[in-house]
Structure 1
Amino acid sequence: MQQRRVGRTGLTVSSLGLGTMTWGRDTDEHDAGEQLEAFLEAGGNLVDTAASYGDGESERVIGHLLDGSVDREDMVLVSKAGVRTRRTPDGAGVVDASRGSLLDTLDATLGRLGTDHLDLWLVQTPDLATPLAETLDALDHAVRTGRTRYVGLSNYPAWTTAQAATLLSDGGPGLAAVEVEYSLLQRGVERELLPAAEALGAGVLAWSPLGRGVLTGKYRATVPASSRAASPHLRGFVEPYLNDRSHGVVEAVTTAANGLGRTPLEVALAWVRDAPGVSCAVAGARSAGQLHGVLAAADLELPDPIRAVLDEVTAPELGYPERF
């Protein structure tokens, strides 16, 4: 698997990353262990999690695996903070990127993972109630105290990302990476965020490169009973892409895949992985079998004509002020 630098940093990651959103909830520790072993054997190293995934269960599973047969030095550990869970029956998430909350969450993350540092720590989502300078102060403090090597933002707009990069570069650790949703079904980041990241020297981690699973083609005819769209806690995550526009994109991807003798999953993943500015495409799988399908895309390079067609049929609308 190809290894890439994250932006203009010295951090090197695999071009495909392993997402763990379902670990500890839909994916038990045994299946997670099989996935991690297969991923590392294929040359992968970036493992992406968050304190909010399963209210910490994802991190706890990773920690158990690290306490077993997995060598910490073989992994680039990425985690996120800024969304905490209310202690209420509904377990609703609360956005909180205040200094205290972030640093408390980081300490809890390190405890669950059983490690003294992260390789990359990200603020998961913007917090409009907390001054950006306070959030960034927590990132700077985390690097200075050795609890993480690099820091970045996830799901932030371009203007805030640029402001954060400026503040973090003034005697601080700098902005190493941004993590954003990016797929053939979601190309909005191309308007401003990707150009900003390139100019700022920040690497891009693309989450949900398979359009929340829709680009695999599994929903072309129906909603499988075992799929995320049929899951009570993930149905709302998938439903925005179960529409006529997405159906047309899936058909285009399927046609391209048939012509190449590959799967729609491989074509969709290769498109994101090799998009300009992307350091790593982070894909999750519920089982080791599904992960093998993801890893099969590692050797696929899309021919230029096919990439051009997919670019055309999925291009985001651009207008003022992106185009003047």
Structure 2
Amino acid sequence: MQRARIGTTGLEVSRLALGTMTWSRDTDDGEAADQLDLFLDAGGTLIDTAASYADGGSEALIGRLLTAAHSRGDVQICTKAGIRRTRSGGVVDASRDTMLDTLDASLERLGTDHVDLWLVHQHDATTPIDETLHALEIAVNSGRARYVGVSNFPGWATAQIAALAGRRPSIAATEMEYSLLQRGIEREVVPATKALGMGVLAWSPLGRGVLTGKYRHAIPADSRAASEHLSGFVAPYLDDRAGSIVEAVSIASDGLGVQPQEVALAWVLARPFIASAVVGARTAEQLTPSLAAPDLRLASAIAEALDEVSAIDLGYPERR
């Protein structure tokens, strides 16, 4: 699998990252082990997780796998902090004490003394940005994180934190939802990252699973859309617009003799601003087609057709 640099930093990661949001909840230790083996055998290196995934269960499972079957040097770990668990649910909290306490807990669960990329999971409108930046600086200076970045930040906040950070340390990356079904970052986030030398990691590049085509005719009983805790996550992409895009992807995949997810991922990976796309699956069997996507090059006619059917409206002030 090819590798790419994160923005203008020296950090190189695999073009696909292994997503672990469902690990320890919908994906057990055995299935997770099979996925990790498959991913590493394909040349993948970057594992994406977060302290809030399964209340730390995802990180703990990764730690068990690295202890039992793999060397820490085989993988790069990206994790996130900034969502504090309360009795009523998760609360966005990027304060210095919460960020650093969460990082220490993540390192313990992962069984490592550092992570390769540490991200602020979500923009916190109440904590001063300098305080969050101080937490990132402490993490890097103490060796607990090699590189730092953000996730799910709007364009203005992405530019703000990167500009204020300067080189103390620099903000290396942002992880954002991006797929044929969700191209909103093209309005302001992508221009900001280009101007500030940041890399972009795409989460849910398969449109929350919809671009696999599994929902074309019905909702499978074992799918995320049928899950009590994930149905609301998938529902926004089961409308008529999404259906048109899914059909276009399916037509392209039929013509090429590949799976729909290969086409959808190849389209994302061809975007020049994307360093890596995070792919998650419940089973190793579901993961397999995605691992072929980095080698697929879409003909210009196919890429242009997908561009057109998925195009977003750009208006003032992005376009006048």
**TM-score bucket (shorter structure):** over 0.9
The TM-score, its normalising length taken from structure 1, stands at 0.97
| RMSD, aligned CA | 0.8
Give the CA deviation at 1:293.
Answer: 1.7
State the partner residue of 1:303.
299
Cα offsets for 1:145-190 (capped at 9, x unmatched): 1100000000001111111111111x40101000000000000000
Confirm whether residue 167 of structure 1 aligns to residue 184 of structure 2. Answer: no
State the partner residue of 1:18.
18
Partner of 2:171: helix, strand, or coil? coil
The TM-score, its normalising length taken from structure 2, stands at 0.99
Cα offsets for 1:120-161 (capped at 9, x unmatched): 000011111111111111111110111000000000011111
State the partner residue of 2:100.
103
* Alpha-carbon distance in structure 2 between the residues aligned to 1:85 and 1:242: 30
State the partner residue of 1:225.
221
Runs of 5+ unmatched residues, structure 1: none
State the partner residue of 2:193.
197
Give the CA deviation at 1:71.
Answer: 1.1
* Alpha-carbon distance in structure 2 between the residues aligned to 1:219 and 1:179: 26
Taking the TM superposition and a 5 Å limit, the aligned residue runs for 1:44-83 are: 44-83=44-83
Counterpart residue type for residue 85 of structure 1: R
Confirm whether residue 133 of structure 1 aligns to residue 130 of structure 2. Answer: yes
State the partner residue of 1:34.
34
* Contact 2:269/2:294 (8 A) holds in 1: no
Partner of 1:185: helix, strand, or coil? coil
Give the CA deviation at 1:87.
Answer: 3.2
Give the CA deviation at 1:59.
Answer: 0.1
Confirm whether residue 287 of structure 1 aligns to residue 276 of structure 2. Answer: no
Partner of 2:78: helix, strand, or coil? strand
* Alpha-carbon distance in structure 2 between the residues aligned to 1:50 and 1:13: 18
Counterpart residue type for residue 79 of structure 1: T
* Alpha-carbon distance in structure 2 between the residues aligned to 1:59 and 1:273: 26
State the partner residue of 2:116.
119
Cα offsets for 1:82-140 (capped at 9, x unmatched): 1122135xxx1111111100000000000000000000000011111111111111111
Partner of 1:139: helix, strand, or coil? helix
Runs of 5+ unmatched residues, structure 2: none
* Alpha-carbon distance in structure 1 between the residues aligned to 2:223 and 2:292: 20
Counterpart residue type for residue 130 of structure 2: A
Give the CA deviation at 1:272.
Answer: 0.6
Partner of 1:32: helix, strand, or coil? helix
* Alpha-carbon distance in structure 2 between the residues aligned to 1:297 and 1:84: 35
* Alpha-carbon distance in structure 2 between the residues aligned to 1:7 and 1:128: 26
